Amino acid sequence: MNLAYKIFWAFISLGVVTVWGLTLNGIVHKIFARVQGRLGPPVWQPFLDIIKNNSIRTAISHGVMFYLGPVFRIAGGIGTYMFIPVLFGSVYFSNFSMSGDVLLVMYFIFFGQLGMALGAGEGGHPYSAIAVSRGLAQMTAFEVPFALSVISLALQYKTLSITEIVAAQQGSFLNWTLFTNPLAVIAAMIAMLGMNMYNPFSLVIAPQEIPIGPPTEYQASFLGLLATNRGIFGGAKLVLFMNLYFGGATNLVELIVKTFWIYMLSVFVGAAYPRFRTEDSIRFFLKYPTALGIISVLLFSL
């Protein structure tokens, strides 16, 4: 299949995953509402919000970097997604996966948030500055167990390509990393709690403390871009975790089911816990998940 086809199908799957990620956001709001005894917003509310945000008539800018912040963010999201094979064995939904794309993906996960930090910094709001420092500190903290678990996967499967990792997990569900390397999976899932930024790790957009963090100054279409990126980036992260730890997916139904349940973990935790302080959160990530990651690395390196 030549490059044009590949790009075409990549963007098709990008659209699919964006829609699914936004719908997932709506479902999450619904679930939170039900836990709180409410009816909650309709599932398609995120789409409406995006349309509304893009239909705002005026917009305030604070400079070039302020523009580029959301652009970097969504570039990071798309970049993260573009190198993850979505469906195993499908010619169309395997994006641009290559050998060693795990490292690339981990780099892109960082990239978006760094760009957002730059943009929010130029916003000039003190809460943005505080939230950026919080967010970068926490991100550095949860990247440690995540990186450790990925290293242990690389040691386990002797490869750095997501496709081969998924291929190695095919057959029965007992071949999933969840069962062959549970320690790494636990470490990575805890890291994902921090990545999704629900309670108790919602330091960055803490409405009662620093309302509402980096996007404080962002409005109108900037906010619409950020909301779109929530769909893309969330979907990409979920697909990545599904590929690495839960045996990937061979069709869209399997993808939807698996990503939904992976996401629900952070939702269940988030509905029942208050918020960490920054230093507590960092301490938490550097304690048990890191230890689990190190143990799993040692297990497979010996």
Partner 1 sequence: MQSLYPPIVNGKAVYDLDSQKYIRVWQGPQHPGVTGNMSLELDICGDQVIKCNTHVGYLHRGFEKLMERRRYINCFPIVCRICVPEPDTNEYLFAAGMEELMGVQIPEKAMWLRALNLELSRLASFLMHLGGQSGAFGMGTVAQWTIAYRDYVLDLFEELTGARIYHMYMTPGGVRGDIPEGWIAHTHKVLDGASKLLDEIKHVMLNNAIFKQRAIGLGVITPEMVDHYGIVGPNARCAGLKRDVRKDNPYLIYDQLDFEVETETAGDAYSRTCIRWRETHQSIDLCRQILAKMPPSGAVHITLPNVLHLKIPAGQTYVRAESTRGEYGYFMVSDGSEFPRKVTVRGPSYSHAMALLEDLLVGVNIADVAGLMVSLHTYPPEIER
Partner 2 sequence: MSDIEIKDNPDIKSELQTPPEPGYSEWRKDENTLYNDGLPEEEKDWFCDARPQKARKSVQVIENFLNWARSQSLWILAFGTGCGAIELRPLVTSRYDISRLGMQPRPTPRQANLIMIGGYVSIKTLKRIVRSYEQMQGPKFVVAVCSCAINGGMYWDSYNTVKRIDEYIPVDVYVTGCMPRPEAVLAGFNKLKELIKAGKAEGQNLYIERFDWYKENQKKVIKDWNMPDYNW
- The option from partner 1, partner 2, none interacting with 174 (CB < 5 to 8 A, set by class) reads none
When the beta carbons of 164 and 209 are compared against partner 1, the nearer one is 209
Contact of 231 with 22, CB cutoff 8 Å = yes
- Residues contacting residue 172 through CB under 8 Å, at least 6 positions apart: none
Exposed, middle or buried: residue 290 (CB in 10 Å: 0-12, 13-18, 19+)? buried
Interaction between residue 124 and partner 2 (CB under 8 A): no
Q: Residue 48 CB, nearest distance to partner 1 (Å)?
A: 22
Per-position DSSP letters for 192-253, written without gaps between them: HHHHHT-TTS--TT-TTTSTTSGGGG--HHHHHHHHHHHHHHHHHHHHHHHHHHS---SSHH
Instruction: Give the binding site for partner 1 (CB under 8 A).
Output: 35-38, 126-127, 129-130, 199-200, 202-203, 206-211, 271-278, 280
Length of the chain: 302
User: Which of these ranges, 43-51, 88-96, 100-108, 246-254, lies near partner 2 under the rule CB under 8 A?
Assistant: 43-51
* Separation of alpha carbons 185 and 190, rounded Å: 9
Task: State the Cα–Cα distance between residues 248 and 55, nearest whole angstrom.
Answer: 38
Query: Residue 59: which of partner 2, partner 1, none does it interact with, CB under 5 to 8 A by kind?
Result: partner 2
Binding site partner of 220, from partner 1, partner 2, none, Cβ cut-off 5-8 A by kind: partner 2
271 contacts partner 2 (rule: CB under 8 A): no
Residue closer to partner 1 (CB basis): 63 or 207: 207
Selected from 24, 223, 232, 267, the binder of partner 2 by CB under 8 A is 223
Nearest-angstrom CA–CA distance, 122 and 84:
32
CB of residue 124 vs partner 1: minimum separation in angstroms? 12
Taking the least distance from each CB to partner 1, the nearer of 51 and 272 is 272
The rounded distance, in Å, linking the Cα atoms of 183 and 172 is 20
Residues at the interface with partner 2 (CB under 8 A): 29, 33, 36-42, 45, 48-49, 51-52, 55-60, 207, 211-212, 215-220, 223
